[in-house]
Structure 1
Amino acid sequence: MAIRDRGKKKWQFAFGMPELIKAQRNLWIDQKRMEKPIIDDYEKEEFDQRICYALEHNLPIKVTIWTDGFSSDITGRIHYLNPISYQLRIELQRGEFRRINFGDVIDLSVVD
């Protein structure tokens, strides 16, 4: 007596439920999220000194930003610093700018 296997048909039900696949993807993404690190006053003061140094010598900076549980790096030159709205405008390429809030910055370094 031969065993008759159904092949791929036995797994077909899992691909018929898009909600299950979406829930699994969201679960995997949520596992990679991190909490926002706490930046103390000494680190903020050090960030200010690095910004001033980069502005004075027109050097590029590398900024690590925390956005919704994930961090990303941005490298460019400081174009404008707005102390009223607590924003930093960075020129990524010639004519391409990006605004960054001071509250989202978790690391800042000057690229020599």
Structure 2
Amino acid sequence: MVPLRFHLQERIHLLELHLHHDILRINKPIIDEHEAEEFDLRIIYSMEYNHSVKLTVWDDGFTYGVNGRVHYVDPITHMLSIEVKPGEFERVVLDSVVGVKVVN
């Protein structure tokens, strides 16, 4: 039989990992009207001249990057379709985008 203490140590370790994970979370950056318009202009420019973009996306307290070409902007669902590899697309909610950089 496995001692109870062993299970308790595992649980404490898991709780510490979750606590550390929660400490690393950040609040969603506030995007003002000017920044949102700038993001829109960069997306339009990248689509017009077929340039790649690097999006910074906020998701549940963490940010990650999405690199690729903007394939389609859906005005109804407010989603971007990004071609990350030829034939492979990733959909990103426009409201979760906190940074747009045009890459040549």
Please say whether Structure 1 and Structure 2 have the same fold, judged by a TM-score greater than 0.5: yes
In the alignment, the residues of structure 2 paired with residue 16 and residue 62 of structure 1 have an alpha-carbon distance, to the nearest angstrom, of: 44
Superposition CA RMSD, Å: 0.9
Q: Which runs of 5+ in 1 are unaligned?
A: 1-12
- 1:1-112 aligned at under 5 Å gives the runs 13=5, 15-17=6-8, 18-112=10-104
User: Alignment length, in residue pairs?
Assistant: 99
Unaligned runs of 5+ in 2: none
Give 3-state SS (helix, strand or coil) of 1:16's partner. helix
Q: Distance in 1 between matches of 2:7 and 2:66?
A: 40
Aligned-pair distance for 1:16? 3.4
- Percent sequence identity is 41
Structure 1's consecutive aligned runs of 4 or more residues displaced over 4 angstroms after TM superposition are none
What TM-score does the superposition give when structure 1 sets the normalisation length? 0.85
